[in-house]
Structure 1
Amino acid sequence: MSIKYTITLHNDHGKDGRYAFFVDPPQVSESLTAPEVFTNAWISTFVPNGSTHDITTTSEMFAWCGTVPKPPCVGVTVHEGASQPAALGYKMKEEITPGGTFEMIVDRGVPDLIPIPSSAKAAAYKIETGSDLPTPNYKYLFGLGMTNGCGLVSPVASAVATNNMSINLTPIMKFHVSQSDVETGEIIDLPSVSKKAGAIDFSSGLGAGKDAATVVHKSNGTFDIMYHVSYKN
């Protein structure tokens, strides 16, 4: 059963503003060198001064693949793509139930994900490829998607796919919010942006075991984070 998470943003900054939400990139592992993982803006929204805006999502993760119009880098917007619900692997006592595994294919220029027998590690899902990608490839991406509160799956992390790869992705329930004009899907420089962002971490610390957080953007530009249990799950 998935957990519903709610992030409530209060704009007490003193003026209207646009806000962008980001998700910590998943940990990736493979037998060879791990690819560079880009962070995509998850949600972009306008919040008037003195107003409140709720963001809701769930613990359900989605394997994702899509395209970009040019080589991915900061400022490039990732197009919508295909997604599949991705059950994460888990370990109970000494027995491991593998996580969801998907083969990424490209059919007439369109990427897609096909479920195949599960083999992902605990807390992860897996994406594999064959040999149908162009070499070099700068167009076709794979990664992590999450629901954006409107029932749609948005890419939150993406990486360039290569032929014959087999990669485990381990998501982290940690979010960031900043005042920003970036659009949904746009690749951002997370290390730089996160210095001025508020971090909402449901995976560890004060947020562990909680399912709701209140974020107050103060007049000095900082973000105050308070966690609680919603009792609505």
Structure 2
Amino acid sequence: MAETHSVPVIDDESVVATRHYAPSSSHDPWFVCCHGFLSDRSGSYERRCRRATAEGYDAVRFDFRGCGDADGSFADATLGSRLADLEAVLDYFDPPSVVLFGSSFGGKVAFHAAVDDDRVEAIIARAPVTYNRAFDDYRAVVDREGECRFDDGRYVDDRFFEDFDAYSFDDVVDALTVPTTIVHGREDASVPVDDSFEAARRLETDVVLRAIPDEGHRFSSTAEEKLLDSTFDRLERLEDG
């Protein structure tokens, strides 16, 4: 069963979240998805949440402001606003604890959220943005043209990078304590897989990194199934101690 909720965030703006109920919940942490930069809660996130409920996890997927069905403008959205959106969703549903699944830019959200939120028990990151250099091409366009506009008309400008620069992955390295799983395609042309290798080397917590051959930033159906299998196998191992 799934229910859709409007979750208030700030200044009369809300995000839209879908909660999936496990038929028989056997795990305390909920499985909460953070979508990518230009994405939303639909598609693969529904598949991931349905797999989570089949494994006994209650699950939530939601749209960050400026994306999907949420209020707000994409141009006004920042990493800071996405962190506030995630916090609002967790406060609204009030799970006992959470596993954060973050894809691409949602992985960066998950990493920085886990540093400050004791409810986070583990991170699963698919092709995550870790180091800010992954957005250097966007930054160069903003520096040159004043904004970086995408194919669908959405754009970012200086406001995004002024906020972005306040969040260094060094802060995550220094503070992250929860078990972390990173799954990344070796042929990713959007977020370099080398960033994930470097992040995994530097993190001082329990880290598993899986680099999938012949996969780019968008996973094939086969790679997605491998991602889900490894995700829930890893969570089961963590739960068993």
Greater relative CO, 1 or 2 (CA 8 Å, sep 6+): 1
Higher percent of residues as strand: 1
Same fold (TM over 0.5): no
What's the TM-score, normalizing by structure 2? 0.23
TM-score, reference length from structure 1: 0.23
